[in-house]
A and B are shown apart, each in its own frame.
Chain A
Amino acid sequence: GAGVSQTPSNKVTEKGKYVELRCDPISGHTALYWYRQSLGQGPEFLIYFQGTGAADDSGLPNDRFFAVRPEGSVSTLKIQRTERGDSAVYLCASSLTATDTQYFGPGTRLTVL
């Protein structure tokens, strides 16, 4: 079946702009996670949804970052007033339930100039 998909695959933006990154989880998966991976590092947790609600947003670095999952399926990660330090690969993962194995998408490479 279809895996986790993320769009766009690459996004280049200018400092100060607003960006939205989209994640389509595996159909039927109730839990959805966002991670961020900087060059040479392992992925770092940002936020996780159980259904429509954010169950844990402790990894969001500041209030410029926000994520939604209004219908319990697709999720959008939103970054306001982007900074050069936001440049990274943003990864999405989903799992059948919150305790099950997470499966990752290919990521969105964000470059802030």
Chain B
Amino acid sequence: DAKTTQPTSMDCAEGRAANLPCNHSTISGNEYVYWYRQIHSQGPQYIIHGLKNNETNEMASLIITEDRKSSTLILPHATLRDTAVYYCIVRKGNTPLVFGKGTRLSVIA
């Protein structure tokens, strides 16, 4: 079973920041938080991951709370092409990814 809880769906206006929350209250010390997204009919696309510190790359920012029990993925300026299902996954070591149902983000013009 997935160890994360995410809202089923969210809407975001184009050009605004999309903030996608994820709850992982049972995360252990050596587990990373990974985010992937899946645009319709494509394979999952890696976005970002982190352990404790906040992370930023060209796609998004990842904010992890100090107790590591939750995190937020931030897309700073959402576009229509960001419409996708976003998966938050906790993973340690060489274990496979365990996907939940994710959050369906709809970016609206």
8 A Cβ contacts from B90-109 to A: 93-94, 96-102
- The reply to whether B44 and A43 form a contact with Cβ atoms under 8 Å apart is yes
- The reply to whether A48 and B96 form a contact with Cβ atoms under 8 Å apart is yes
Check A107/B94 contact, CB under 8 A, given A41-B101, A42-B87: no
Chain A residues lying within 8 Å of B49, measured Cβ to Cβ, are 101
- The reply to whether B46 and A103 form a contact with Cβ atoms under 8 Å apart is yes
B43 at interface by CB-CB < 8 Å: yes
8 A Cβ contacts from B62-109 to A: 87, 93-94, 96-102
Nearest-CB residue, chain B, relative to A58:
B96
Chain B residues lying within 8 Å of A50, measured Cβ to Cβ, are 94
Bound complex: CA A59 to CA B87 (Å): 20
Interface size of A by CB at 8 A reads: 25
CB distance from A55 to the nearest CB of B (A): 7
Bits for B8-48, please: 1 = Cβ < 8 Å to A, else 0.
00000000000000000000000000101000001111100
Check A99/B94 contact, CB under 8 A, given A42-B99, A44-B99: yes
Check A104/B94 contact, CB under 8 A, given A42-B99, A42-B100, A42-B102: no
Bound complex: CA A48 to CA B45 (Å): 19
Nearest-CB residue, chain A, relative to B87:
A42
- Choose among A45, A55, A91, A101 the residue that contacts B46 (Cβ–Cβ < 8 A): A101
Chain A residues lying within 8 Å of B101, measured Cβ to Cβ, are 41-42
- Residue with the greatest number of chain A CB neighbours at <10 A, chosen from B96, B98, B99, B101: B96
Chain A residues lying within 8 Å of B99, measured Cβ to Cβ, are 42-44
Nearest-CB residue, chain A, relative to B101:
A42
Bound complex: CA A107 to CA B36 (Å): 15
Bound complex: CA A31 to CA B14 (Å): 38
- Choose among A41, A56, A103, A105 the residue that contacts B96 (Cβ–Cβ < 8 A): A56
Chain B residues lying within 8 Å of A101, measured Cβ to Cβ, are 34, 46, 49
Q: Which residues of B contact A (CB under 8 A)?
A: 2, 34, 36, 42-46, 49, 87, 93-94, 96-102
| A-B residue pairs in contact (CB < 8 Å), sample of 12 | A4-B43, A41-B101, A42-B100, A43-B44, A50-B94, A56-B96, A91-B43, A91-B44, A99-B93, A101-B34, A101-B46, A102-B97
